[in-house]
Structure 1
Amino acid sequence: MAEVAVKQVRKSYGDTEVIHGIDVDITDGEFVVLVGPSGCGKSTLLRMIAGLEEITSGDIHIGERRVNHLPPNQRDIAMVFQSYALYPHKTVEANMGFSLKLKKMDKAAIKKRVADAAEILGLTPYLGRYPRALSGGQRQRVAMGRAIVRDPQVFLFDEPLSNLDAKLRVQMRTEIRELHQRLQTTTIYVTHDQIEAMTMADKIVVLNGGNVEQIGSPLDLYDRPKNSFVASFIGSPAMNLFDGKIEKSGADNVQVSVGGTVLNLPGFNDLEPGRAVRLGVRPEHLQLAETGLPATVRVVEPTGPEIHVVFQFGAGELTAVFRERHALSTGDQVHLGIDTNHFHLFGADDGLRIEP
């Protein structure tokens, strides 16, 4: 196992810079998820750590070694891709042990490593099968087993669950997390799915446009997003963001006008009247009320344990999540109150979080 340090790493293709001086420190044994929208640079960063992409400037260290110019096979890493990349003409056992065979490892040692990895992943009954006789989840386990047998310092996962159906994705998330808890190998995992990031990571790195927006634990990012981008990206359904203006501030209380409604919100003072802000409220922190934000029901989505409701609010829309089974129908007009223990204010100009 090893620490991974990314220091002021930049990547350019010609005159176009796609990674803009990223710094990320990953401690020994940590499970770190790189997350962000398509094109944010997360897979490019992973490939630079793996040695599959050259870096334009900066440094990457794995353990005590600077690996900028080392080829992938000398970095002591193992990578699991979105595509399983299994040899169709080889059995599960042969697929898992192939990299060790190339290293000319003793046959008995290869067999033991493969057997141990198969036991961990529940693949022992399938060692004699070919990939065509396996399900998608079993193929992904074989790809993971091929990485495990190498006993690397670092595991790299590049959107490994994208090809699986929804139910299997949930199962494999649990299995990968349990695997990490058992092996305690430093792991870097790339996904665009923030639910995967929230449920699997020790630490999340949120990327946007080739920059790091925020680094922190899943709940840190959920409860205290650094800016409006992180606030809207982390969480499903996404946080509601409303354009507003400070009407009055003082005595640990602020009045914010949103869509013609003035809200009294605690915990803030000395904010300049007239300042443009964005009010952030997560869907679970809205409730039906006698007064509050006037809204019209557009779509009702029962999920079983919860009801997700999309409302028309002014020229835009907002989403609320209710545990109670309210009898709501399209066109109903209601008022929504805000849980004043759970809201966020961001600057309208820079998007940065405004602290109480």
Structure 2
Amino acid sequence: MASVAIRDVFKSFGAVEILHGVSIDIEDGEFVTLVGPSGCGKSTLLRMIAGLEGISRGQIAIADRVVNTVAPKERDIAMVFQNYALYPHMTVRENMAFSLMLKNTAKADSDTRVSRAAEILSLTPLLDRYPRQLSGGQRQRVAMGRAIVRNPQVFLFDEPLSNLDAKLRVQMRAEIKELHQRLKTTTIYVTHDQIEAMTMADKIVVMHDGIVEQIGKPLELYDRPNNLFVASFIGSPAMNLLKGSIGGEGAPAFQGAGGISVPLNGARGAASGTPVVLGIRPEHLKLSDGGFPVTISVVEPTGAEVQIIGRTPGGEDVVANFRDRHDFEPGQTVRLSADLIHLFNGETGQRLAN
């Protein structure tokens, strides 16, 4: 196991700069996810940690050893790819043992490592099968087993679940998390799925356009996003964001399009007239006679919850989730108030002190 230190790292492809001074500290044994939309630079950064991409500027250290010029095979890392990358002509046993064979590992030691990894991943009955005889989830476990047998200092996962169906993704998510809890190996996991990031990680790094927007524990990012990008990206359904300004007589209130007024409940950080964006999580909205009006356009019962999608008088979309079962109808107008709000500067997008 080892810590990973990323210091002011830049990456350029010709004249195009992809990463702009990324700095991240990953502790020994920590599970960290790099999350963000496609093109944000997360996979490029992972490949730079693995040594598959060069570093334009900056420094990457694994276990306090700078690895900028160290060959990938000398970094003591193991990478699990999105497409499994299994050899079709080899059995599961042979695929898992292949890297050990290249290192001239003694057969007895290799067999022991493969058997141990197969037991951890419930692959023992499948060791003599070929990849074509396996399901998608089983192939992914074989790819993970091939990484485990190397006993690396760091595991790198590059969107390993994106090829699986929804039910299998949930199952594999739990298996990867359980595997980390058992092995305690430093793990860096790249995904564009914020649900994966929230449920699996000890720490999340949110990236956007080649920079780090925020680093923190999952619930820290959910409860106190630093800016509008993190607020809109973390959470499903996404946070409702309404544009307006600070106003009101006496107690400050949010004044939005269409005459919407929402009490700020003692929120501070902006003077009257300041353009702001009000953020409300869907689960923090409730029915209230004194709330702002929303005309329902879609009703989505999920079983555990009822979700409505509606529109304010100012034309802004709002999503609300209710645990109680209500008989909502499209076209119906309801009034909603918020239990908890977030406030962001309308010009910079940064969180205000609320």
TM range (shorter): over 0.9
The one-letter code matched in structure 1 to 2:262 is L
Residues 262-296 of structure 1, C-alpha deviations (whole Å, 9 max, x = no match): 22221224631110000000000011221222111
Contact 2:276 2:346 (8 Å CA) reproduced: yes
Match for residue 252 of structure 2? 254
Measured at CA, do residues 73 and 269 of structure 1 come closer, stay the same or move farther in structure 2, by a change above 3 Å? Answer: closer
Task: Show the counterpart of 2:171.
Answer: 171
Distance in 2 (CA, whole Å) between partners of 1:265 and 1:349 is 19
Distance in 1, Cα, partners of 2:255 & 2:186: 47
Question: Does the aligned pair in 2 maintain the 1:3–1:63 contact within 8 Å?
Answer: yes
> What's the counterpart of residue 130 of structure 1?
130
2:55 maps to 55
Residues 1:248 and 1:329: Cα distance change in structure 2 (over 3 Å): closer
* Partner in structure 2 of residue 292 of structure 1: 291
Distance 1:221 1:349 in 2: 21
3-state SS of 1:178 partner: helix
Give the conservation status (yes or no) of the 8 Å contact 2:38–2:192: yes
Alignment of 1:276-315 (within 5 A): 276-313=275-312, 314-315=314-315
Deviations 1:183-222 (A, max 9, x none): 0000000000000000000000000000000000000000
Once the two structures are aligned, what percentage of the paired residues are identical?
Answer: 63
Aligned counterparts of 1:270 and 1:101: Cα–Cα separation in 2: 62
Runs of 4+ in 1 over 6 A off after TM superposition: none
Residue identity opposite 2:264 in structure 1: L
Name the SS for the 2:252 alignment partner: strand
Matched residue, 1:351: 349
Q: How many residues align?
A: 352
Gaps of 5+ in 2: none
Structure 1: 5+ residue stretches without partners: none
Say if 2:244 and 2:255, in contact at 8 Å, map to a contact too: yes
Q: Distance in 1 between matches of 2:327 and 2:5?
A: 53
Alpha-carbon distance in 2 for matches of 1:207, 1:199: 18
- 1:22-57 Cα offsets, whole Å, 9 max, x none, are 000000000000000110000000000000000100
Question: Map of 1:1-356 to 2, 5 A cutoff?
Answer: 1-248=1-248, 253-259=251-257, 260-269=259-268, 271-313=270-312, 314-339=314-339, 342-356=340-354
CA distance in 1, matches of 2:337, 2:253: 14
Give TM-score scaled by structure 1 length.
Answer: 0.97
Tell me if the contact between 1:249 and 1:270 (Cα under 8 Å) persists in the aligned partners: no
**How far apart are the structure 2 equivalents of 1:16 and 1:271?**
38
**Equivalents in 1 of 2:160, 2:348: separation in Å?**
35
Given that 2:242 and 2:316 are in contact with CA atoms closer than 8 Å, whether structure 1 keeps it comes out as no
CA apart distance, 1:249: 7.7
**What's the RMSD between the two structures over aligned residues?**
1.0
Alignment partners' CA distance in 2, 1:319 and 1:276: 22
TM-superposed deviation, 1:156: 0.1
Looking at structure 2, the residues matched to 295 and 64 of structure 1 have their Cα atoms a distance apart, in angstroms, of 55
CA distance in 2, matches of 1:54, 1:16: 15
Give yes or no for contact 1:60–1:67 (8 Å, CA) kept in 2. Answer: yes
How much has 1:336 moved relative to structure 2? Answer: 1.1
Alignment-mate amino acid for residue 143 of structure 1: A
Structure 1, 285-294 or 181-190: larger mean CA deviation: 285-294
* 8 A Cα contact 1:249 1:268, kept in partner: no
* TM-score, length of structure 2 as denominator length: 0.98
Cα shift readout 1:288-320 (whole Å, capped 9, x = no counterpart): 221222111111111110111110122221100
* Cα distance between partner residues in 2 of 1:239 and 1:249: 27
Does the Cα contact within 8 Å between 2:268 and 2:353 map onto a contact in 1?
Answer: no
